[in-house]
Chain A
Amino acid sequence: MIDQICVGASIGCLYALVAQGFALTFKTTRTLNFAVGEFMAIGAFTCVAISTVAWIPAPLKLGVAAVVVALLACVVFRFLISPFTAAGAHDARWLLVTVALSLLLVDVLRNSQGTTHRALGFAKIGGAADLGFAKVPGQLALMAGVSIALAVVIAIVVTRTPLGITMQAVAEDAETAELVGIDARRVGMVSYALGSAATAVGATLWSAHVGVFPDMGPVLLVSAFAAAVIGGLTSVWGAIAGGILFGIISQLATVWFGSTVGGVAGLLAVVLILVVRPDGLFAQRIEVKV
């Protein structure tokens, strides 16, 4: 049972990283990138393309994927998301744009790369990682370790550094932040770049386990979005907790009740949490005087 909890937590670390990407962009721009799944696939396919270049070490290959996806995220935010938020908080055209972009990218990937699962070509680890109290497949352990490390670094950057303070300023009141010289759009681009790049790294390591394929995004997206909701859509630490919690709940439910129940147990937990705490478990409640 301890093994299964650890496996669930390992998968949850990946959900946490993707969920944190959602939290980061929602916190600073009040938008979500629904094409992030295809961004992950683009990152993974980038790695496949350079996997045969022997002189590039594996971490650098992941870095290349991160840079490619970060640049893509910047461009998408600048030209496809930011212009469609201009009409204020009720302007939801960005949602349609990102969903359309998701459909477009997945078709481009299918038609250009084919639909079969491909090997990543590196970062493949066999055997099990012995944690002393439990064993986890080595591939999942690597993915979990890198994902949680990235998630913690991002959370520290967002909550403890000048860049993070700037992000929080934009998150709380973008107009006022601009009055004191903060470029809210640039902060949004940085959020998108950071969140998407980290997500691409985690997903690429995951693809070493399950293969690289154009439709890899949606497999993660629902779970990651649920994790973000559990943690609170504006809390970068909450996303980490939400991801791990979602992973463990899903895994244990599958162990006890089979995949039919396990597949929806995490989502049922989301509904329950939304009923009890509509802002998620870790979101900061802000009282507004009216």
Chain B
Amino acid sequence: MSLKSKRMAAVGLAAAMVLAACGGGGSDAKSSDGLEPLVGVIGPKSGAAQFYWTEMTRGLELAAPDMKEQYGVTFKLVEADDKGDPAVAARAVQKLLNTDKVDAIFGPSQSGPSLQVAETIQRTGRPWLVAIAAADEIVDPKASPNWGFRTNNNNTDAINVSGSYLWNSSDSKVGVVYASDAYGQSNHDLLAAYAKDKGLAITASEAIQPGATDVSPAVQRMKSKGVNTVFIAVSTGADTAAIVKAMKQVGLKADRTLATATITAGFTDLTSKEDWESIVFIEPRDLTGPTFMPIVDRYEEKYGEKPSSQVAVYTTYTAAMLYAKAVAEVGDASKWDEIRTAIEDTDKIEIFGRTFESPFGADDHELYEDDASSWFVIGFDDKGDLRTVGPASS
């Protein structure tokens, strides 16, 4: 090779190296590939809340064929175990963002870890699908640009609708039994704030220890204060069962007994028919309707069992479809800001026949609103299966 040729080759090589260095954009070669985004999934793969991880990953698996068929999008997943621990989540999300250079993040599934990683994700700038965690502060409406999009309802919306259901008449004397953990305390405080805002009063508030064998003292005190409407804010169906049994034990017959959606985990297994016939919870999804049941049916068909949290499966599925739609519109998963804008500007999306019109906006990154007419009262039938009682506004 002549000297001139060698010089040209060297210049060409250098130019190629410079172009390669500049052309990577936001992600490296192992990252996204057009319609094959590298998606970081973070959640409690191990630890006490492991079922959330199972439901989140299964929600993504169930969405995979639909994403491919409707949008031509296939996720390449990078999994991260936060063990349900905020500190672990903080380290895991740093790795996802900086080492794995994922194109989007799904999770964490719990509020504590999600709150811990929120600032990091907002600062780094990556589409963030908050599919399960419900604490209000996770998705900050004032953040600009806002990278977080929630496909579950937040706590405040749930409490606002619950409040209107609990204080449905001027005779309502509302008592709250709540677990002395973050979930119970948060729900209690939000309901107290709702009541204060509306000029109402909670007649009795009683905390219980999660996992307590007997909670009849707390229920007895509510009864003695004349409570006729009960709100139960505990994080397991087992604790709800303990409260309902105690109500029967001390003879507290409430006009309305409202629990939260956590009741679906094990409540009917630990109680009998007469315990569950008058208790309900409120949901923005019609859990027994034609716009929700298909995902449950597909879940049971694919995995041979009922989901531990069908809502978590549905909201993760919804998040996946939303993100896939945006990726398809932009055409390149590594253009993170364009993807973020595309999700924000989504005109409508249909999930199992339910259409969400303009689900998000520049200052609204929550899929659900607190309009009681679009929420549902869910109870149990004779067999302990879920049944839709009616709209929450009734």
Binding site for B on A (CB under 8 A): 3-4, 7, 11, 14, 107, 110-111, 114-119, 126, 128, 135, 137, 140, 206, 209-211, 213-216, 219, 251, 254-255, 258-260, 262-263
Q: Which residues of B contact A110 (CB under 8 A)?
A: 46-48, 50
Query: When chains A and B are docked, how far (Å) is the Cα of A114 from the Cα of B236?
Result: 14
The reply to whether A126 and B46 form a contact with Cβ atoms under 8 Å apart is no
Q: Which residues of A contact B238 (CB under 8 A)?
A: 117, 210-211, 213
Contact of B211 among A3, A11, A107, A219 (CB under 8 A): A219
Size bracket, chain B contacts: 20 to 34
Could you give 7 example pairs across A and B, Cβ below 8 Å?
A: A115-B48, A117-B238, A119-B270, A209-B270, A214-B48, A216-B211, A258-B206
The reply to whether A114 and B209 form a contact with Cβ atoms under 8 Å apart is no
Is B249 located at the chain interface by the 8 A CB criterion? Answer: yes
Contact of B217 among A116, A211, A262 (CB under 8 A): A262
Q: Shortest CB–CB separation between residue A98 and chain B, in angstroms?
A: 21
Is B308 located at the chain interface by the 8 A CB criterion? Answer: yes
Query: When chains A and B are docked, how far (Å) is the Cα of A254 from the Cα of B49?
Result: 29
Is B64 located at the chain interface by the 8 A CB criterion? Answer: no
The reply to whether B272 and A126 form a contact with Cβ atoms under 8 Å apart is yes
Q: Shortest CB–CB separation between residue A145 and chain B, in angstroms?
A: 15
Is B212 located at the chain interface by the 8 A CB criterion? Answer: yes
Q: Which residues of B contact A119 (CB under 8 A)?
A: 266, 269-270
Additional A-B contacts beyond A211-B266, A254-B218, A259-B180 (9; CB < 8 A): A4-B217, A11-B213, A114-B50, A115-B51, A117-B237, A140-B213, A211-B241, A251-B214, A259-B207
Q: Which residues of A contact B211 (CB under 8 A)?
A: 210, 215-216, 219
Residues from 24 to 83 in B contacting A, C-beta threshold 8 Å: 46-51
Contact of B266 among A3, A116, A135, A216 (CB under 8 A): A116
Residue of B at shortest CB range from A254? B217
Q: Which residues of A contact B48 (CB under 8 A)?
A: 110, 115, 214-215
Given the interface pairs A4-B217, A117-B270, the reply to whether A111 lies near B50 with Cβ below 8 Å is yes
Is B245 located at the chain interface by the 8 A CB criterion? Answer: yes
Query: When chains A and B are docked, how far (Å) is the Cα of A259 from the Cα of B50?
Result: 29
Is B282 located at the chain interface by the 8 A CB criterion? Answer: no
Q: Which residues of A contact B221 (CB under 8 A)?
A: 255, 258
Contact of B213 among A117, A210, A214, A258 (CB under 8 A): A210
The reply to whether B266 and A117 form a contact with Cβ atoms under 8 Å apart is yes
Q: Which residues of B contact A128 (CB under 8 A)?
A: 249
Residues from 102 to 122 in B contacting A, C-beta threshold 8 Å: none
The reply to whether B51 and A116 form a contact with Cβ atoms under 8 Å apart is yes
The reply to whether A137 and B270 form a contact with Cβ atoms under 8 Å apart is no
Query: When chains A and B are docked, how far (Å) is the Cα of A279 from the Cα of B266?
Result: 42
Is B242 located at the chain interface by the 8 A CB criterion? Answer: yes
The reply to whether B216 and A7 form a contact with Cβ atoms under 8 Å apart is yes
The reply to whether B249 and A211 form a contact with Cβ atoms under 8 Å apart is no
The reply to whether A211 and B207 form a contact with Cβ atoms under 8 Å apart is no
Is B190 located at the chain interface by the 8 A CB criterion? Answer: no
Is B94 located at the chain interface by the 8 A CB criterion? Answer: no
Task: Select the residue from B47, B215, B241, B270 with max chain A CB neighbours within 10 A.
Answer: B270
Q: Which residues of A contact B201 (CB under 8 A)?
A: none
Is B208 located at the chain interface by the 8 A CB criterion? Answer: yes
Q: Which residues of B contact A216 (CB under 8 A)?
A: 211
Task: Select the residue from B212, B215, B237 with max chain A CB neighbours within 10 A.
Answer: B212
Query: When chains A and B are docked, how far (Å) is the Cα of A255 from the Cα of B242?
Result: 16
The reply to whether A206 and B213 form a contact with Cβ atoms under 8 Å apart is yes
Q: Shortest CB–CB separation between residue B259 and chain A, in angstroms?
A: 15
Residues from 197 to 248 in B contacting A, C-beta threshold 8 Å: 206-209, 211-218, 220-221, 236-238, 241-242, 245
Query: When chains A and B are docked, how far (Å) is the Cα of A214 from the Cα of B242?
Result: 18
Q: Which residues of B contact A211 (CB under 8 A)?
A: 238, 241, 266, 269-270
The reply to whether B208 and A259 form a contact with Cβ atoms under 8 Å apart is yes
- Top 8 nearest A-B pairs (CB, nearest first) are A119-B269, A117-B238, A117-B266, A255-B217, A254-B217, A211-B238, A219-B211, A116-B265
Residue of A at shortest CB range from B216? A7
Q: Which residues of B contact A215 (CB under 8 A)?
A: 48, 211
Task: Select the residue from A4, A128, A135, A206 with max chain B CB neighbours within 10 A.
Answer: A4
Residue of A at shortest CB range from B214? A7
Residue of A at shortest CB range from B250? A3
Q: Shortest CB–CB separation between residue A11 and chain B, in angstroms?
A: 5
The reply to whether B206 and A117 form a contact with Cβ atoms under 8 Å apart is no
Residue of A at shortest CB range from B210? A219
The reply to whether B214 and A11 form a contact with Cβ atoms under 8 Å apart is yes
Residues from 248 to 269 in B contacting A, C-beta threshold 8 Å: 249, 265-266, 269
Q: Which residues of B contact A210 (CB under 8 A)?
A: 211, 213, 238, 241-242, 270
The reply to whether A137 and B207 form a contact with Cβ atoms under 8 Å apart is no
The reply to whether A259 and B212 form a contact with Cβ atoms under 8 Å apart is yes
Query: When chains A and B are docked, how far (Å) is the Cα of A206 from the Cα of B209?
Result: 17
Given the interface pairs A107-B46, A117-B238, A211-B269, the reply to whether A137 lies near B180 with Cβ below 8 Å is no
Q: Shortest CB–CB separation between residue B384 and chain A, in angstroms?
A: 11
Query: When chains A and B are docked, how far (Å) is the Cα of A118 from the Cα of B236?
Result: 11
The reply to whether A137 and B50 form a contact with Cβ atoms under 8 Å apart is no
Q: Shortest CB–CB separation between residue B392 and chain A, in angstroms?
A: 26
The reply to whether A4 and B216 form a contact with Cβ atoms under 8 Å apart is yes
